[in-house]
Amino acid sequence: HGTSRINRQGHLEIGGCDTVELAKRFGTPLYVMDEEMIRERMRSFVKACREQTDFAFRVAYASKAFNTLAMCRVVEEEGLMLDVVSEGELVTALAAGFPAERIYFHGNNKSKGEIKRAISAGIGWFVVDNFVELELLQQVANSLGQVARILLRVSPGIEAHTHSYIQTGQEDSKFGFDLASGQAFEAARLSKKMKGVQFEGLHCHIGSQIFETEAFTLAIGKMARLAEQCEQAGYPISILNVGGGFGIRYSADDKPLAVEEVIQAIAETVKREFRFAAHQPEIWVEPGRAVVGEAGTTLYTVGTVKKVPGIRKYVAVDGGMTDNLRPALYQAKYEALLANRATETETEVVSIAGKCCESGDMLIWDIALPKVKQGDILAVGCTGAYNYSMASNYNRLPRPAVIFVNKGEADIVVERETLEDVIAHDRIPMRLQKQMV
């Protein structure tokens, strides 16, 4: 993946940095992000979009996948827009100097405070999820004397998952205005009558880890019919956001689409389905995982190794579901190698356990590795998306550090939490302090 290779010492190297050295210098568990690869992935989306010359395209990064100050700097430098889903993600972007007008706000339950903050900051757009939010948004915008530009989030009745999609009349989802029942059109109609909002377009996001262009093209077909209805009613759309969800290769079984292929399919479908339109809409895509997923590697130190005779060998590492919740939550599959002995060919099958007090805290079942022993450095690949961003302090484990590596340089982008950090927000009520010495 990316700039990874095996160096002369037989160590895994990423971004020109020896990962065994990184583990020594920064400690483990450690999230290592390949900055060059992140930039390349962004550029591949931008380039594929630019090659579709019939359209104006814009690429946004879905920051929920991995959002830190340094990451926002990279997104800014690469010229992408930014999708945020909370005040926390918004504040991170603003603190990094990300231009507010290139940010838009997702989410199914934006608070009044969040909306106020975003409008005051001069955010580009809101993706409005439901009728309650639409009303709240117009109220807040009016009270601030502003007009909020909006896209409507539509639930189009297509659900895509890894290697499959289903089409339903209605989508039973907490997100978005239902298309089939006419809610989405009703929202467009209502928003046109409101003073504090300006209706500009439609959005749909049909799922994650998608491997077929059909899921996108079907959804676009449905969105086009809604757009046509809107245009006939006198409110044409200028933006069509088709969401994210572009699949990546976690393991050899995953066969992701080439970025060019999926962008081309999207462009061709929009061209075909929007023949009715006086003006073709701008197309937006908002990948998260496809930008950062493969660029991340987590380094762990191996601790205990135990054999259940005749059944299995457990290799425990110094992290687990606290830094990578995905195996426990989604049965997600990961691949790994021994960073300090990456060239050894004699292997045995082991299972990688986390250190949390929970049987489900297993990172990888049945993987072939060289004979693993205490002190080895295990590198788990493809951990750039939804790992750091979903990390927790379960069992009061401090969250790991995050570093960017690039051309032989390694920089901290998130400091490792300390045990002081872990207890920093705890308070002892007076009546429980009496017995303390």
Q: Can you say which residues are annotated as belonging to the binding site for pyridoxal 5'-phosphate?
A: 245, 286-289, 386
- CA distance linking residue 360 with residue 200, whole number of Å: 45
Cβ(290)–Cβ(63) under 8 Å?
A: no
> Catalytic residue positions?
357
- CA distance linking residue 314 with residue 359, whole number of Å: 12
- CA distance linking residue 217 with residue 410, whole number of Å: 41
CB atoms within 10 A of CB 383: 29
Q: Which of 350, 293, 369, 356 is nearest to 319 (CA)?
A: 356
In the complex with ligand LLP, the residue whose CB is nearer, 11 or 203, is 203
Question: Is residue 41 close enough to count as binding ligand LLP by CB under 6 A?
Answer: no
Using left for φ > 0, alpha for ψ between -120 and 50, and beta otherwise, residue 379 falls in beta
Question: Is residue 201 close enough to count as binding ligand LLP by CB under 6 A?
Answer: no
In the complex with ligand LLP, the residue whose CB is nearer, 72 or 350, is 72
Q: Hunting for tokens 């390349």 — which residue is that? A: 40
In the complex with ligand LLP, the residue whose CB is nearer, 62 or 377, is 62
Q: Which residues are annotated as a binding site for substrate?
A: 289, 326, 330, 358, 386
Question: Is residue 399 close enough to count as binding ligand LLP by CB under 6 A?
Answer: no
Cβ(82)–Cβ(103) under 8 Å?
A: yes
Q: Hunting for tokens 């920089």 — which residue is that? A: 411
Question: Is residue 250 close enough to count as binding ligand LLP by CB under 6 A?
Answer: no
Tell the smallest beta-carbon distance from residue 288 to ligand LLP (Å).
3
Cβ(161)–Cβ(191) under 8 Å?
A: no
- CA distance linking residue 275 with residue 284, whole number of Å: 18
Q: Considering only residues 157, 201, 243, 319, which one is a binding residue for ligand LLP as defined by CB under 6 A? A: 243
x/- letters, 331..350, toward ligand LLP (CB under 6 A): --------------------
Query: Can you read off the two tokens belonging to residue 359?
Result: 């049987």
Angle at 220 between CA 276 and CA 99, to 5 degrees: 100
x/- letters, 357..396, toward ligand LLP (CB under 6 A): ----------------------------xx----------
Q: Which window, 22-30, 181-189, 237-245, 361-369, contacts ligand LLP (CB under 6 A)?
A: 237-245
In the complex with ligand LLP, the residue whose CB is nearer, 262 or 342, is 262
In the complex with ligand LLP, the residue whose CB is nearer, 28 or 241, is 241
CB atoms within 10 A of CB 308: 9
Question: Is residue 327 close enough to count as binding ligand LLP by CB under 6 A?
Answer: no
Question: Is residue 259 close enough to count as binding ligand LLP by CB under 6 A?
Answer: no
> Applying CB under 6 A, what is the total number of residues that bind ligand LLP?
18
246: DSSP letter = B
Q: Which window, 51-59, 115-123, 243-251, 355-363, contacts ligand LLP (CB under 6 A)?
A: 243-251
x/- letters, 260..289, toward ligand LLP (CB under 6 A): --------------------------xxxx
- CA distance linking residue 240 with residue 222, whole number of Å: 12
88 CB burial (10 A radius; 0-12, 13-18, 19+):
exposed
Tell the smallest beta-carbon distance from residue 341 to ligand LLP (Å).
30
Query: Can you read off the two tokens belonging to residue 288?
Result: 């998260």
Binders in 290-309 for ligand LLP, by CB under 6 A: 290
Tell the smallest beta-carbon distance from residue 248 to ligand LLP (Å).
8
By the criterion CB under 6 A, which residues form the site for ligand LLP? 62, 65, 106, 205, 208, 243-246, 286-290, 326, 330, 385-386
